[in-house]
Structure 1
Amino acid sequence: MKRTVVIENRGGHDGIATGGHYGSWARVWTSRQGVATYHVAEENHHIGKPGRMTPHKDYVAVEVSTTNMFNHEKDYILVEHKRSANPNLRGSSSRERYELLAGIMPAWASFPSAWQEWVQERAVQEAAADHIIAKVPETREAVRYARQKSSKGNIRRAWDDVRWLCSDAMGKEIDYPDGSWTAVRAIPIRIAQKLGGFRSPIPRPVWQKRDASCSFLLVSP
């Protein structure tokens, strides 16, 4: 197996207020040392002309290959896709996901996709909405309105109204991440959990910590 993976694709500028290094990047993990190799296939680093703000852009792609030690029934080669979110942009995503290149998916890497699927389950969404209304009855109309929204920004703003009503009722502020689409869809679930006593009709995915004894970092930016 040979696959090209972009491990660096970030850019930005050196401005004081909004400068930084933002965009997508990745790390390649294997089940153990020696089952894969890599070499740099393409590498570009660009720095713009100095001025009020000096822009920069970095791009690195590597070619990953299996070795004769790789066992398709036991080993894995996995890409951890990540984003460095721009905190100055509302809704800038720091989404994380895993892509299996070869072998079997380890349990610890399956959580992000399982969480995304669980969050979007209609039964879970309905249960969260019902729980919010049961806990804070004055949110009924705001919850109904929020559930009718379809665009990311409108969904977030509508659930923010619900959040403030719940925060007032609890006497403390409710907070939650809202950068990615999955995070926005999870807002009613987060609120329901903060109110206490929420029980999902579908079991929540269980996060597992990466086991350092059976994972090897092959390459990162």
Structure 2
Amino acid sequence: MAGRLTLSAVVGVVVIGVVSANANTSAGGGSSGHGTEGSSASAEHDTTGTKDPGTPQAATRKKVSIDGDGDFRVGRDIEPGTYRSRGNTDGLCHWKRAEDTSGDTDSVLADAHVRGTGYVTVKATDKVFKSSGCKAWAAVGAKAQGSPATRMTGDGGMFRVGVDIAPGPYTSTGNTDGGCHWERTKDAEHGPNSILAKDTVTGTAVVTISTQDAYFTTAGCNDWTKTA
């Protein structure tokens, strides 16, 4: 009798052990498998960004242009960078960079009226960019490339050196009443230190645009032609 009881006990222990092992294997395998599948799915969503439209990458894609009218908060409504507005023909386009949103005259960092094409660099330290009566502004890359022209419209506004126009000597003839004004600038911030040289000319205007210049602005002039 004692022998039979001992054998039964042993068999019971073995059966319990087998059932317990199978249960652990089933639970462990299912948990591990689902866990791996869940990680892969999350990685795919994170990579595509389809479930996170507020990511910096998505925000950057949405902030590459500015409407021609309105106040835009830097870093929130628009990203800092250089923007270009083209096709302003009536001279009513006016923009401002400001250090705060008070609207006070003292808060204005730079401003300009645009006829033709205008460029402006909105800095990360600016608080607001204001635009009125302008065509839409589009962001331009710091390393943009183009086919530089050797002629430019005398009332065309700003031209990016090495992209819009080639550097070198230019001449504009037949300017009357002192209406021809030009500027060579080192950036598009339009600050007091941006201007490298400027002049207002009656008759023939001659200027050499350097390879070190960033922009050339012309207003009220007859067309310019590269002479060499």
TM-score, normalising length: structure 2: 0.25
TM-score, normalising length: structure 1: 0.26
Name which one, 1 or 2, has greater alpha-carbon Rg: 2
* Structure ranking higher in strand proportion: 2
Structure with the larger RCO, 1 or 2 (CA within 8 Å, 6+ apart): 1
